[in-house]
Amino acid sequence: MSTAPDVIRCAYAEFVVSDLRASRAFYVDVLGLVVTHEDADTIHLRAFEEYLHHSLVLRRGPVPALAVLGYRVRTPADLDLAEAYYRELGVRVRRREPGATLGIGEAVRVEDPLGFPIEFFHEAVHVERFTQRYDTHGAGAISRLDHFNLNTPDVPAARKYYEGLGFRVSEDIQDSDGTVYAAWMFRKPTVHDVALTGGDGPRLHHIAFATHERHQILHICDHLGALRQSDMIERGPGRHGVSNAFYLYLRDPDGHRIEIYTHDYYTGDPDNPVITWDVHDNQRRDWWGNAVVPSWYTEASPVLDLDGAPRPLVARTDAREMDVTIGADGFSYTRSTEFKLGEQV
Ligand SMILES: O=S(=O)(O)c1ccc(O)c(O)c1
Ligand SMILES: [Fe+2]
């Protein structure tokens, strides 16, 4: 294989949304993201610690879907490496002129081997960093984009592909037969830039933004309650087993899943130990043993190809986590010698 591009981190996502006004009310008025640019068809948003043009683009369109996930690479020369690397993989590759993505320089956009639309870029417009603009932060201040979570049918194959890009595993979920249900992989020194969640794919399971404090997550819950929009809360708040982050999952007006996630832990040393969880450990997904709602396992956003058409799904053939345990409750244990029957839907 030719040399892979040097990926620094996950950097942005572009969602197609059906009602830009309703999406703006959620992402700006509730989540408090900063508007870098908006027009009749798009809103470009960033979180408070971000100084690149955007980390989320909302684009008005008929079919809510993921349009692209952006990874930042270390140098402009990495774009040539990306182009050669993906052409060698035999997938569709497009070079994009500076500004083809507003605020972003020259880029290479591909349909990766897992079926996801991925954009590699280096140059981007710098905008005001609101890190200490406490005059603008709400009580639910969001600091930055943290990770992507992807539904893909074959987690070991997806792990191998991402290892080829220099990503390392921090944690995973397996069973005693060696079936892998999920894996968390990183380039920046945190638990993940990308998580691979076993399921029919390619689908986007969620993107996550990080806050510094748990109370900021709790405020978002209270804010949604005050708006009588608590139905946007899908799962949590709670404490993850994997990653140890305090978490909340929201569904935006089109159903795109957004996680709000307190900072996890440092993974930057070369000997960072991998944590493997038993799929029957009911503290793996929620440290307090709370069940994972079924929709969290079954629902996700479709993804578009480079022509803007929704990608057909490939069904997972390995065992499904929801079949072997409902979230953190069904047929699982708190202490490995004491199985308990949880509720099964
Ligand atoms: O539910 S898990 O504890 O496995 C989990 C851990 C980290 C995440 O970012 C996530 O979405 C889910
Ligand atoms: Fe997540």
Domain-wise residue ranges, the chain: 7-126, 140-344
Mean pLDDT of the chain: 95
Q: Is 283 in the pocket of ligand 1 (CB under 6 A)?
A: no
For residue 218, the SS3 value is helix
pLDDT for the residue numbered 322:
87
Interval between CA 109 and ligand 1 midpoint (Å): 27
Q: What is the best residue among 242, 265, 267 to mutate for testing ligand 1's pocket, by most ligand atoms within 8 Å of CB?
A: 242
pLDDT for the residue numbered 263:
78
Q: Is 208 in the pocket of ligand 1 (CB under 6 A)?
A: yes
Q: Is 285 in the pocket of ligand 1 (CB under 6 A)?
A: yes
329 vs 251: CA distance, rounded Å: 23
Interval between CA 292 and ligand 1 midpoint (Å): 11
Interval between CA 178 and ligand 2 midpoint (Å): 23
Q: Is 307 exposed, middle or buried (0-12, 13-18, 19+ CB in 10 A)?
A: exposed
pLDDT for the residue numbered 226:
98
Q: How many residues does the chain have?
A: 345
CATH topology match: 7-126 vs 140-344: yes
Question: pTM for the complete prediction?
Answer: 0.96
Longest CA–CA span in the chain (Å) reads 59
pLDDT tens digits, one per residue of 202-261: 999 999 999 999 999 999 999 999 999 999 999 999 999 999 999 999 999 999 999 999
Identify the CA nearest to 36 among candidates 12, 65, 56.
56
pLDDT for the residue numbered 338:
72
* DSSP 8-class letter at 42: E
CATH of 7-126, one of 3.10.180.10, 3.30.70.2500, 3.40.1010.20, 3.40.30.10: 3.10.180.10
6 vs 9: CA distance, rounded Å: 9
Q: For ligand 2, an ion, list residues with CB under 5 A.
A: 149, 208, 259
Report which ligand 1 atom has the smallest distance to the Cα of 284.
3
Show the low-confidence residues of the chain (pLDDT under 70). Answer: 326-331, 339-345
233 vs 251: CA distance, rounded Å: 7
Q: Is 112 in the pocket of ligand 1 (CB under 6 A)?
A: no
* DSSP 8-class letter at 27: I
Interval between CA 89 and ligand 1 midpoint (Å): 30
Query: What's the CATH fold of domain 140-344?
Result: 2,3-Dihydroxybiphenyl 1,2-Dioxygenase; domain 1 (3.10.180)
pLDDT for the residue numbered 136:
95
Show the tokens assigned to 203: 């689908």
